[in-house]
Structure 1
Amino acid sequence: MRYEDGQLARLGDVVSVAGMTGRVVCSIDTGEYSEDYPEQAWAYLQRGVMIDWDKQGLTHYEEPEAGIILVRRDRRV
């Protein structure tokens, strides 16, 4: 998945949309999975990313929701 600015979503990215902040906890597209969200649990989704939002919880995206922006890269997950 790519953000609106064209950057590839990566594990650990801190993102924002509509007043919510979230973190990419796995990127199926790049084969990156955090310890809490391992490949064997999420690879069946085949593509996209999982974002853990502060207000909404865990959400799978194959394509980015309009307005999701990368706040910063953060490899500490």
Structure 2
Amino acid sequence: MNYPDGQNVKLGDIVDLGGGMEGVVIIDVENREFTDRFDMSVVLFLESGIMIDTNNIGLLHLPANHDHYIRLIRRK
């Protein structure tokens, strides 16, 4: 999955989702990568996208075709 500017989304990236919502990328579904706080068993039913741990609504699945909604704030 990529940001609108073409950069690859990476685990640990802090992202802006708009409307004051920010979060941290914790799972890359397509590449089967995840942080040590979570494992893939929570998203085995998903086929694409990323999971973001947000600051105000908890976990959010963002499908790959919705990548235009996020902006990279900071890379770890």
Bin of the TM-score, shorter chain as denominator length: 0.7 to 0.9
Alpha-carbon RMSD across the aligned residues, in angstroms, is: 1.6
Q: Which residue of 1 aligns with 2:66?
A: 64
Q: Which has the higher helix share?
A: 2
Q: Does 1:47 align with 2:29?
A: no
Q: Aligned residues: percent identity?
A: 35
> Runs in 1 of length 4+ with deviation above 4 angstroms?
none
- Report how far residue 29 of structure 1 moved: 1.9
Q: Distance in 2 between matches of 1:65 and 1:9?
A: 9
Structure 1, gaps ≥5 residues long: none
Aligned length: 74
Q: Please show how residues 1-77 of structure 1 align to structure 2 within 5 Å.
A: 1-18=1-18, 19-62=20-63, 63-64=65-66, 66-74=68-76
Q: Deviations over 1:11-32 (max 9, x none)?
A: 1110012222100010012221
| Native 8 Å contact 1:10 1:32 kept in 2 | no
TM-score (norm 1): 0.80
